[in-house]
Structure 1
């Protein structure tokens, strides 16, 4: 039988990416959303602690080390789990925000630097689990991983989720950062819209979502320097110098 809610579909569980017993702190004040997340994530192989406020997130994170926090932006106090409230030296788990687009500008600075990502509402459960896996893999790689990719004067700092072109800091959303990282990691390779969509959102998106995302990143990256992001019409997008063999 097919079961669905306004947030996602439980019948997607057979094809969802699975966890490996990681400790996940879920903060959701809405009872329906809390039940959906806790049930689905437990079935997907995660160990769940459920709370209803940002203050409770801070209290639990102080008591115990969690691998990941899933935080509903509709909480009355989501910013309570922010850098100004954390004791010095406390482990800061990566954070996945469940939010509407209008809340991002307010919440991302309040939550401070660190590994963080977001999924916009209404969301698909498959996308939530895909983004969780990306955050967990990045956290597991730690500071001794391969490092963030770079190209000429375009560099990334994964520890701060920040991009620079020369001396200029690029103001990127999480989705824009993921796209730029994917292009950098595959410099001189043409990436299809499907490849980009699955990396950025965990699924392919139609309409003009990918074109608009690429356009926003291109304006920010290429605003004051030679163009690095290009379109291969009918195939996809690539990053590199003009004249490169792609």
Structure 2
């Protein structure tokens, strides 16, 4: 499904939450920030509304009746690219990681600040369609990223990447051989000066799973112990023989 996404106020945001109070507060703040808001009360309702008017971003409650937010996220990802912010009362780390692993771009735990949520919506949308992004194609060791077309290839085969995975790979290709901490990656790729650093760890693991021949012994995205991660555009002797987290 080919979709044209809008990147700022005026973008369509689908809010999926079965709590009418939360839905009203979130939609009110987003509406005042200039977004076009659509509301859904459960998974099937969300999928039907997305089919009728594909959203630019989804604020998705994890604990929905019947079809939970994880399944909704999976099904939406199967239909086309869309940024997702998971919204839930469950703050357990395993829940956050599961949400990120199914493709969520951010994870906000209830109770939350509606103003912060609006800021995160703006941040995710800007990253989905960043203004002024360099358009030159990036290539290294069989990996190719076209920022203008939002396409990534490995050996000529197109990779299916989420918004954050794409941005992370493009950032790595722009800065080969340099080690970055998770804090630096969160600032440079996510645009946040705060947040759960496990978000970076999960996205690196997911990206390795898509670009590496053997994710446990990566050629490209190396762990730099005590620092963070480094992208190597060429093989590093011995690196492929070491398992990495």
Q: TM-score, normalised by structure 2?
A: 0.57
Deviations 1:183-214 (A, max 9, x none): 12333455465441124444234897588569
1:22: Cα distance to partner? 1.6
- Aligned with residue 132 of structure 1, among 125, 137, 140: 125
Deviations 1:14-52 (A, max 9, x none): xxxx93312222112223432332122122221111221
Q: What do you get for the CA RMSD once the two structures are aligned? A: 5.0
Give the corresponding residue for 1:72: 61
1:215: Cα distance to partner? 7.8
Cα distance between partner residues in 2 of 1:39 and 1:104 = 29
Alpha-carbon distance change, 84 to 128 in structure 1, aligned in 2, over 3 angstroms: closer
- Aligned with residue 239 of structure 1, among 200, 222, 231: 231
- Aligned with residue 25 of structure 1, among 4, 14, 19: 14
Deviations 1:63-110 (A, max 9, x none): 334333322222222435726996xxxxx461413156427648966x
- Aligned with residue 94 of structure 1, among 76, 82, 94: 82
Cα distance between partner residues in 1 of 2:16 and 2:164 = 22
Q: TM-score, normalised by structure 1?
A: 0.57
> Contact 1:21 / 1:46 at 8 angstroms: preserved in 2?
yes
1:62: Cα distance to partner? 3.2
The answer for unaligned runs of 5 or more in structure 2 is 1-6, 237-245
Q: Secondary structure at the match of 2:46?
A: helix
Q: Secondary structure at the match of 1:229?
A: strand
Cα distance between partner residues in 2 of 1:38 and 1:190 = 40
Q: Which moved more, 1:43-52 or 1:32-41?
A: 32-41
Alpha-carbon distance change, 202 to 35 in structure 1, aligned in 2, over 3 angstroms: farther
> Contact 1:178 / 1:200 at 8 angstroms: preserved in 2?
yes
Alpha-carbon distance change, 161 to 35 in structure 1, aligned in 2, over 3 angstroms: farther
Give the corresponding residue for 1:121: 108
Alpha-carbon distance change, 162 to 55 in structure 1, aligned in 2, over 3 angstroms: farther
Alpha-carbon distance change, 35 to 56 in structure 1, aligned in 2, over 3 angstroms: same
Q: Secondary structure at the match of 1:121?
A: strand
Q: Secondary structure at the match of 1:62?
A: helix
Cα distance between partner residues in 2 of 1:64 and 1:155 = 32
1:60: Cα distance to partner? 2.0
Cα distance between partner residues in 2 of 1:228 and 1:130 = 25
Number of aligned residue pairs: give it: 208
Alpha-carbon distance change, 74 to 154 in structure 1, aligned in 2, over 3 angstroms: same
